[in-house]
Amino acid sequence: VIRGCVPKKLLVYASSFQADFRDSQGFGWGEAARPFDLKHLMDKKSAEVGRLNGIYGRLLKNSGCDYVEGRGRILDPHSVEVTAPDGTTRVLKTKNILVATGGRAFKPDIPGAELCDTSDEGLVYGEVPKTMVIVGGGYIAVEFAGIYAGFGSEVHIVCRKPLPLRGFDEECRQLVLKNLQSRGIHVHVNSNPAAIAKNEATGGLSVTVAGPDGAQQVIEADKCMFATGRKPNVHNLGLENTKVELGPNNAIKVNNILQTAEPSVWACGDVIDRIQLTPVALMEGMCLTDTIARGKPREPDYTYVASAVFCQPPLATVGITEDEAIETHVGEIDVYVEGFRPMRNTLSGREERALMKLVVDAASRKVLGAHMVGPDSPEIMQGIAVALKAGATKEVFDSTIGIHPSSAEEFVTMRTVARRVQCKGTAKM
């Protein structure tokens, strides 16, 4: 809530108005100068985050929890030392310990990295950078690129892959790249930052970028943000005082019920580095409630977890991609693809198109994955996720009456197979 989904989404809302104002002229609204006040936005955002924190605090209190503020460090499998903000310490004795410390933004080891920000700082900038470089090609990079481009910054994304958003559907990634570029964002693909240096003359930063051919260019920027991923937050937790083991990326290793190698220590959320999404951490927490408090062991269910990237327009997905199906599925898949210009864009003059895609098992007709880039895609995909979780087949989609006129109805009117693909896997999904 403090440095994650909620404040980011509020900034996405704020940044989207620039495009909305421009689009409104196609619907008869006159052009008018609209100044933007970032400080006002940040103050309102902070107040809302504070309100939500208060709600969570009251929920803890009303549920009977003892709330202890401070820095916790495990002393042994049943003891945690807490250092309060004033420096005093106390030791808590407990039957079980849950580690849910999340993750921290990661900066790669390149010259000048200490001069750069992460998304944590990007959520609290005091003024809009005139020029901004964002290093990374994941969802944080494209989301913050859209945010600050919407605020008026000239934004450069430095992405080491040929497309942003590795792991998402290939056709969706291609469209996201096109949309980023159409909104004036400079995307340097197959590129890496080589060094960052302080520009003493301007007070800004000189960001040296190595392109795919090895040639280097220097981008002068007010800000440089690293959006190069997050790592589990395990530093100085006292895990060495237990049998807890760390795996790849320093994630805490847990079994099928989120228990570590130390029987009294459990872990969930980003610190175990499975699926880094708030709703997933909540689901894991509910599983632990059943396992620890109710004595009914319950394994987390990671099937058909929907997710969204709040680029502009957003991308949303549930299930497996076409490439994942080809590599892991047995038999054949039918792929349905629909691209169209959203109705709103016909009058606004905006050239952006939407994309919808279904990946279907050819034999059973079960829908294995759904993917969309376009307005309202996260809201649409949440409903699609329920259908896939329930095991819906393509015939269920086909027999469902659409809501007209809407983009969502395209998911239930796709009748023509774009392609049938032979898969390489050995496991039926």
- Taking only the tens place, the pLDDT of each residue in 210-234 is 999 989 999 999 999 999 999 999 9
The predicted pLDDT at position 54 comes to: 93
Given the residues 156, 188, 371, 404, select the one marked as catalytic. Answer: 404
**Owner of token pair 């032979």:** 422
Chain CA centroid to CA 313, Å:
14
Is pLDDT at 64 greater than 80 in this prediction? yes
Distance in angstroms (rounded) separating the CA atoms of residues 123 and 137: 18
3-class SS string, 99-113: ECCCEEECCCCCCCH
φ, ψ (nearest 5 deg) of residue 265: -115, 130
The predicted pLDDT at position 1 comes to: 73
Confidence of residue 305 (pLDDT cuts 50, 70, 90): very high
φ, ψ (nearest 5 deg) of residue 322: -60, -45
Spell out the residues 6+ positions from residue 343 whose beta carbon is closer than 8 angstroms to its own: 405, 407
- Taking only the tens place, the pLDDT of each residue in 128-185 is 999 999 999 999 999 999 999 999 999 999 999 999 999 999 999 999 999 999 999 9
Look over the chain and give the mean of its residue pLDDT values, rounded to a whole number: 96
The predicted pLDDT at position 429 comes to: 55
Average of pLDDT values for 323-335?
96
The predicted pLDDT at position 427 comes to: 62
The SS3 of residue 45 is: helix
The predicted pLDDT at position 2 comes to: 78
Average of pLDDT values for 33-44?
94
Distance in angstroms (rounded) separating the CA atoms of residues 71 and 91: 11
Over the range 412-428, which residues count as b (16 or more CB within 10 Å of their CB) and which as e? bebeeeeeebebeeeee
The closest alpha carbon to 369, from 350, 389, 352, 395, belongs to: 389
Q: What is the pTM of this model?
A: 0.95
Average of pLDDT values for 321-347?
97
Whether 371 sits among the annotated catalytic residues: the reply is: no
